[in-house]
Amino acid sequence: MNLPLNTLANTHDPVAQARYNMIEQQIRPWNVLDADVLDLLAVVRREDFVPPAYRSMAFMDIEVPLLGNDAEEAVRRGQSMLQPRVEARILQDLQIKPTDRVLEIGAGSGYMAALLAHRAERVVSLEIHPELAEMARENLRDAGIQNADVRQADGARDAIPDGPFDVILLSGSVAEVPAALLSQLRDGGRLGAIVGSDPVMRFTVTRRNGDRFETTSPWDTIAPRLQHFPEPSGFTF
C-alpha cells in the first residue's frame, strides 16, 4: 500500500502505520523537515528493499543486515542498510534536483538509489559485492524504477563511469574523501560522505565552485566502512 504521508496516520494497515511511526518518531525529530523528502519516504516501500529474513526490521532505527545469517558480521563488513534517519537526512541535505545526474558508491539493497532516482534525472550506483548488486537491480526493477543503473564495481579502485556528476554520494563511511572522486563533480556539484573514524564521524557535504571545494560538516553519525578506501596510518611521530 503506497500512501502519502498525510494519509498514513489514519490507515489501519500495520505496515503503513509502522512506516508512519518511522517517519514521525525517528526521522522528523532528526531535523528532516523537507515535506517532499518526508512524502517520498512514505511512498517508497523500504520493506521491499530488506531481505525477507529481516523484513520485521525494515522500520527500526538500526542498520539492517543484507547478506548472510550473522547480522553483526554483515554490519561489520558494511553489508547493511544505513539507519532510516541517516538516509533521510542525507537525502535532504544533498538537495537533489530533477536535472541532477547522481553517482552512488555502495548500492546495498538499492533503497537509497530508489530514493535518489525519484528526485534525480539519472542515478548510477556502484556495488562491490556481486550478490548485493543483483539484489539492488531486482529490487529497483520490482519497484518500477527505470532511471537507476546498478553496476558491480569497486568505487574506490575502478574507473568511474559516465562522469562528471552533479551529486556523488558515498553510502558508507571513509577516512577521507579521495581527490579523484571530487574531480568527478561538475561545477556547482556536491559530494556527500560520512567521514572520520569510529567513534568520531561526521556527514560532510563538499561543493565544487570552479577549482575550489568548500566543505561543511552539519551532523555526527556512525556508519560501516566502504571497502578499499584509504585508511590513515596508525603511526604518530
Residue 15 is assigned to a structural domain of this protein: yes
Residue 228 is assigned to a structural domain of this protein: no
Residue 226 is assigned to a structural domain of this protein: no
For residue 83, give its domain range: 5-220
Residue 235 is assigned to a structural domain of this protein: no
C-alpha cell, 230:
584509504
pLDDT of residue 205: 98
Residue 94 is assigned to a structural domain of this protein: yes
pLDDT of residue 237: 46
- CATH number, position 131: 3.40.50.150
SS (H, E, C) the chain: CCCCHHHHCCCCCHHHHHHHHHHHHHHHHHCCCCHHHHHHHHHCCHHHHCCHHHHHHCCCCCCCECCCCCHHHHHHCCCECCCHHHHHHHHHHHCCCCCCEEEEECCCCCHHHHHHHHHCCEEEEEECCHHHHHHHHHHHHHCCCCCEEEEECCCCCCCCCCCCEEEEEEEEEECCCCHHHHCCEEEEEEEEEEEEECCEEEEEEEEEECCEEEEEEEEECCCCECCCCCCCCCCCC
Residue 142 is assigned to a structural domain of this protein: yes
Number of structural domains found in the chain: 1
Residue 225 is assigned to a structural domain of this protein: no
Cβ atoms of residues 224 and 170 within 8 Å = no
Place of cell 508512519: 20
Instruction: pLDDT tens for the chain, 237 residues: list them.
Output: 455 676 666 667 899 999 999 999 999 999 999 999 999 999 999 999 999 999 999 999 999 999 876 666 766 666 899 999 999 999 999 999 999 999 999 999 999 999 999 999 999 999 999 999 999 999 999 999 999 999 999 999 999 989 999 999 999 999 999 999 999 999 999 999 999 999 999 999 999 999 999 999 999 999 999 999 999 875 444
pTM of the model: 0.93
Amino acid at 10: N
Residue 106 is assigned to a structural domain of this protein: yes
